[in-house]
Amino acid sequence: MAKAKAAAKTKKKAGKRPAPSGLSHIDQSGRANMVDVSAKAPTERMALAEGKVIMTKATLDKVIAGNAMKGDVLGAARLAGIMAAKHTHGLIPLCHPLPITKVEVDIFPEHSLPGFLVQATVKVTGKTGVEMEALTAVSIACLTIYDMAKAIEKSMRIEGIRLLEKTGGKSGPYKAEAGA
């Protein structure tokens, strides 16, 4: 009898619709749930995210010159960002595992900061977007720059991680306002 009640309770939960709040990962009862994308058609999707690592000019110059004690800071950061995008579903609890078709991590020295501008582009043909994958790639690439250069400067800051652009899916394209 207890098993039948538990099964009925589970079936009842499975049929709940998302909360009217507009938050797709929250059900009517306010519990977190993974969005059901099974009925959605696959579309080509892209997301572009960015972040910055702010440091002193001296640290920036050492990293650019390849004089960090741990080795190739920017190469390690690019690779870490790519790997992170591929593992986002294991890091963010309600993300779907996706068959990512492209991850590109670009790191640009910005003397005006001083520091590095990190950008990640992620693509997929699928039923859900890759915004979280792009944001995760940027976050981990920035953290890797910090880790690789912390022996030179511990006061570096990671700032401005944000989505710049996304395409595909039901909600359509998004582009961040310039300078926002």
> What is the per-residue pLDDT for 65?
94
Helix (H) or strand (E) holding 108: strand 102-110
> What is the per-residue pLDDT for 68?
85
Residue 23 lies in a domain: no
CATH of the domain at 57: 3.30.70.640
Mean pLDDT of 132-156: 97
The total of structural domains in the chain comes to 1
- Name the residue with tokens 């909360």: 19
**Two tokens, residue 119:** 């950008």
Query: What domain range includes position 84?
Result: 43-175
Least confident of 9-23, 64-78, 102-116: 9-23
Write down the pTM of the prediction.
Answer: 0.83
More confident residue, 22 or 175: 175
Q: pLDDT tens-digit profile of 5-29?
A: 544 454 444 444 544 556 676 777 8
Mean pLDDT of 96-106: 97
> What is the per-residue pLDDT for 13?
46
Which residues neighbour 147 within 8 Å (Cβ) at sequence distance 6 or greater? 70
Least confident of 18-22, 70-74, 108-112, 146-150: 18-22
Q: Looking at the predicted structure, is the pLDDT value of residue 98 above 70?
A: yes
Q: What SS3 state is found at 116?
A: strand
Residue 15 lies in a domain: no
Residue 21 lies in a domain: no
Residue 31 lies in a domain: no
Residue 109 lies in a domain: yes
User: Alpha helix locations (H) across 15-130?
Assistant: 57-65, 73-86, 88-91
Q: What SS3 state is found at 93?
A: coil
Mean pLDDT of 41-48: 95
> What is the per-residue pLDDT for 21?
57
Residue 10 lies in a domain: no
Cis, peptide link before residue 114, omega less than 30° from 0: yes
The answer to whether the beta carbons of residues 136 and 88 sit under 8 Å apart is yes
> What is the per-residue pLDDT for 14?
45
Residues marked as catalytic: 147
Residue 37 lies in a domain: no
Residue 143 lies in a domain: yes
